[in-house]
Amino acid sequence: MAQSPSLRQLSYFVAVAEELNFRRAAERLCITQPPLTRQIQALEAMLGARLFDRDRRGVQLTEAGQRFLAQARALVQQVAQAVNQFQPSSAAPQPPVLRLGITTVVDVGLFGGLGAAFDTAWPGRQLRIQRQISARLIRDLHRGALDLAVIGLPSRTEGLVLTPLGDDPLMACLSSRHPLARRRRVPLQALAADTLFWFDRRLNPAYFDHCEQVFHRLGFHPPRLAEPAEHPVLLGLIAEGRGFALVPQSLNTVRRSGVVFRRLVEEDELRIRLAAAWPADRPPARADDWVALLKAQWAGPR
């Protein structure tokens, strides 16, 4: 390889690999998406290998990308540690940062008051919120990249302490032209002939398997299409009459013309349980206060 990757390219690659979403990675890096995409493309060309697979379902690391990630992350961390050694000892200490993850399965707006409440409870400290699917939040808890996370259950939670926060029942998301759009509650069987937009099992195997067991017990086996990674895209396809989706109730705050949300008759069986989670061997400071704060946010006005 005639040229070596720059530190910037390595940092950009690590951000995309951890977020698995170019938009969120760009926001994290405080840049726009086009230069991020260009740097990743340049890095792939330099390495002679494709690092990411991109399709309607989202972004995934290729086998080469997975191998490269550990090395890239180690190099970025080594540079950061080397730079920190030369920081003046008289420099003012930075306020401690508390790192909170919130699952993308709920509307983050429901935690909109969290920043102000945190500032009151922990003056002088910084709160950094990261949005990812539950499986990646759990991964980041285990590797020490997060102190605490709000995750959806069922999930694979070995080694974590869990405290329930509340439930988020699934709702039918339908085209407003659908014959069932006029009903207040919809039975799943009435949708069995329609196309269901559904997520890939690898995103959350435990929750996927739970839903499959419920579907099997109810005899619900509709045709399926891969659920788009971006929620606005999903709503657009539903508005066009391409199919329907089962989405958490908290997400019905995201309105779009041509789409309606209807409660399910089987909502007691199809719901996401939310929990605060942290590693059993590394509890966050004032864990009880954290749980009380998150519960108050979840139970607040909607």
Rg (CA), the chain: 21
Residue 301: predicted pLDDT: 47
For the ranges 27-36, 46-55, 136-145, 216-225, the lowest mean pLDDT is seen at 27-36
Residue 185: predicted pLDDT: 95
Distances 79 to 36, 87, 169, 201 between C-alpha atoms, Å: 20, 13, 46, 37
Per residue in 168-218, pLDDT (tens digit) is 999 999 999 999 999 999 999 999 999 999 998 988 888 999 999 999 999
pLDDT band for position 237 (cuts 50, 70, 90): very high
Closest CA to 69 of 109, 106, 14, 124: 14
Average pLDDT over residues 44-72: 86
Average pLDDT over residues 25-47: 81
pLDDT at residue 245 greater than cutoff 90 = yes
Q: Which two tokens stand for residue 293?
A: 């704060």
Contact, 136 vs 280, CB < 8 A? no
Per residue in 121-162, pLDDT (tens digit) is 888 788 888 888 898 999 999 988 899 999 999 898 999 999
Per residue in 73-117, pLDDT (tens digit) is 888 777 766 655 655 554 455 557 889 999 988 876 777 778 888
Contact, 272 vs 199, CB < 8 A? no
Residue 210: predicted pLDDT: 92
Contact, 52 vs 16, CB < 8 A? yes
DSSP conformational letter for 185: E
Per residue in 8-22, pLDDT (tens digit) is 888 889 888 888 888
**Which residue segments constitute the domains of the chain, with CATH numbers given?**
7-84 (1.10.10.10), 98-166+272-298 (3.40.190.10), 170-271 (3.40.190.10)
Strands 58-61 and 52-55: antiparallel
Distances 201 to 41, 57, 117, 206 between C-alpha atoms, Å: 28, 12, 36, 8
